[in-house]
Amino acid sequence: MEEKLTEAAILECLKTTIIGRKIIYQPEMPSTMDTARKEVLEGTLEGTVIITDEQTAGKGRIGRLWSSPKGCIALSVILYPEASILPSIIMVASLAVLYTIRHITGLNPMIKWPNDIMINHKKVCGILIEGGVKEGGKDHTVIGIGINVNLDPECLGEISVPATSLSNELGREVSRLELIRYLLLKIDKLYLTVRNGIAVYKEWQQNLDTLGRQVHVKMGNEIFEGVAESVERDGSLMLRMREGNLKRIVAGDVTVRY
Ligand code: BTN
C-alpha cells in the first residue's frame, strides 16, 4: 500500500532552499489555490506549499473545473517573484513537472504550449498560474499543479483533451511521496536559476511538443490556425499563418493536429 502523505513525510530529506519552508497538508480541500490565497493574505512565507489528496472544487485554466480524485497530486506553491521573472514562472513549473516524471518513472513526457504535460499526446498534468498584488504587500504568484498519478483516467469524467495517468502508462502505481519530494526540489532549483538571471526558455523550447506542428488556437473569441514556429523569451508562441505573416500568441487554448 502507498505511504500516507504527511507534512513530516514530505519534509523528510527535502533539501530545498525556498520551496517547502512551510507545508500545509490536508486529506481533502475544495481547492489548494483557495487555501493558497488565504495564506498569501496572512503574509505566509515564500515557498509555502499546500497539498491535498483530493479536491472537491479543483480549478482549471480558463475557468474550467479540474477533477482531482484520490490518487492524484494536487498542490499549490506560493512565490513572491520580481516582476522581471514572472514570464519564466510558467516555464519553471512545466520543466519541473517534466523532469520529475522523467526521473521517477522513466516515461517521456513533453510540454504542450503553454503548460500542459502530455504523454503520448494525452494530458497527464495541468498547471494553473494565478497572481496578484496584495493590498499594501508584495506581488505574489501561486503555481497550481495537478498530476494524474495512480488513477483510472476514465474516472476523470468529460474533459476537453484525452487524459492519462502515470499508473495507466506504466501498468503499476508510483509513489506520490517520491514524486512530490523530487518536484519540490526541481521547482526550487529552477526558481533559483531564474532568480539569478539565467533564462530557461531555450530548455523549455527544447521540450515543447507543439513546435513545427499545425495548431488551432483559441484566444478569447478569436481562432487562429497556423504552424507553431517558435517561442519568444517571454514564452509567447509565434504562429506562422497561412498568409505567411507571424502572429504572436500570448495566451490561449491550443489544439495540435498530429
Ligand atoms: C489546467 O486546466 O490544465 C490546469 C489545472 C490545474 C489543477 C491544479 S490541481 C492543484 C491546484 N488547485 C486547483 O484547484 N487547481 C490547481
Task: Give Cα separations from 103 to 2, 11, 190 (angstroms).
Answer: 19, 19, 15
Output the CA 245–ligand 1 centroid distance in Å. 34
Q: How far, in Å, CA of 151 to CA of 99, rounded?
A: 21
Output the CA 40–ligand 1 centroid distance in Å. 18
Q: What are phi and psi of 91, to 5 degrees?
A: -75, -40
HSE-up of residue 169 (Cα within 13 Å, Cβ side): 21
Q: Which atom of ligand 1 is nearest to the CA of 61?
A: 2
Kindly report, residue by residue over 76-135, the tens digit of the pLDDT.
Answer: 999 999 999 999 999 999 999 999 999 999 999 999 999 999 999 999 999 999 998 655
Instruction: State the pLDDT confidence band at 59, using cuts at 50, 70 and 90.
Output: very high
Best of 48, 128, 145 for a ligand 1 pocket test (most atoms within 8 Å of beta carbon): 128
Does the Cβ of 64 fall within 6 Å of ligand 1? yes
Instruction: State the pLDDT confidence band at 137, using cuts at 50, 70 and 90.
Output: low
